[in-house]
A and B are shown apart, each in its own frame.
Chain A
Amino acid sequence: MKDEAIWGLFVAFSTAALFSIGGGSALMPEFHRQLVEVNGYMTSAEFAKSVALAQIAPGPNMLIVSLMGWQVAGLPGLLVSTFAIVVPPSLIAYFTWRTMERLKDAAWLSAVKIGLAPLVVGLMLASGTITARAANHDAIGYVLTLGTAMIMHFSKRNPLWMIATGAVVGLLAHRLGFMSVV
């Protein structure tokens, strides 16, 4: 079962990787389908726990698949899953870069970059509000989100300070009875 699961992880994650336009969070429904519904490698509750754990640890969002690999098949599962999610898109990125270097004087390439830039700002703003809606359960959550956004926009502060502040405020609010724990 284990060898079979490792191969299954590789196939599931490397194909998902190639369709993961826009990064990791867009892939969650697909991961759930593959791991829980199609293959039955983990239960829905175990899946939810992986998602929660991955948010605690720093690093690329995509590493959630490493965690899922770990839960399905231990260290080999983690390594295979990481390889599957990292390597295929990396090859594409590398060859895209080579092509872009060759074409860097082409007017259309700079038009592509200039044209895509506002879309990326809209996308990022959308992902901020979607994340805020999922993370915030009361007014304190929204105050934290807005406060962090304002302070970070107007300063060049290390983002880690804001995360640490958020954690302390969450803890205090809970201790003082302002914030419900979900």
Chain B
Amino acid sequence: MEELPVQRGDMRPISLFELCTGFMMISLLGFGGLGASSNYIIVERRRWLTAKEFVELFAICAILPGGNIMNATIMLGARHHGVLGSVLAMVSLLFMPLLILIAVVTTYDHFSYLPDVRAAIGGAASAAAGLIVATATKLGKGIVWRAAPICFATATFVAISYFRLPLWMVVLFMAPPSVFLALWKGGRP
């Protein structure tokens, strides 16, 4: 797998316009969740963040209440343009999807009974599940995989997908030892 040529990462200034178009793209490309499309825009296309910065931002956003990418939108907006950046980035993220939602809800009853439409939506849903899996493996590129992270990632996966434990419970039991280990190593991966 090729490395990204030059990672500009954290410090490159992003214009307000670029921020808004970026989040608009993320929302318009995001079917069945914004994980794949935000990785695509933020890390792969526009290179606002490196893979490592992205997984760390995502980690903080996932344990805060609210949508993960909505929280990331607020934080990236604030980092580059303060409160104005947060507000405009969020509006950019929400505006088009809301219009599309209204269009879909007002027309769906006319076409939803068509088996073709249902089959196409079913196929798209299967692909969307694959996108989530790939987002997980891509987020994994930002981590140095030693024994401890492998154990914590596996345990979290099993607890949620197999035992169906709620996330808060998993975070409560898994985060302290994982964070403590990282701290013990001096905050280095």
Contacts and interface: CB of A to CB of B under 8 A. Distances in A.
B119 A181 contact: yes
Contact of A116 (B63, B122, B125, B129): B63
A153 to B, nearest CB: 5
Interface in B127-160: 127-140, 142-143, 148-150, 152-157, 159-160
A113 B74 contact: no
Contacts of A78: 98, 102
Contact of A149 (B86, B137, B154, B156): B137
Contact of B123 (A55, A153, A159, A170): A170
Contacts of B138: 152-153
A85 B188 CA distance: 36
Given A59-B93, A136-B126, A158 B101 contact: no
Contact of A56 (B121, B171, B189): B121
B102 A93 contact: no
Interface string A149-166: 111111010111011111
A71 B142 CA distance: 41
A21 B175 CA distance: 14
Interface of A, secondary structure class, is: helix
Interface of A: 17-24, 26, 52-63, 66-67, 70-71, 78, 82, 85-86, 88-90, 92-94, 96-98, 100-101, 107-108, 110-132, 135-137, 140-142, 144-154, 156, 158-160, 162-171, 173-175, 179, 181-182
B75 A118 contact: no
B152 A156 contact: no
B105 A90 contact: no
B178 to A, nearest CB: 4
B66 A167 contact: no
A19 B64 CA distance: 9
Interchain residue pairs A-B with the least CB separation, the first 8: A170-B123, A89-B66, A59-B97, A166-B127, A148-B130, A122-B156, A174-B119, A115-B179
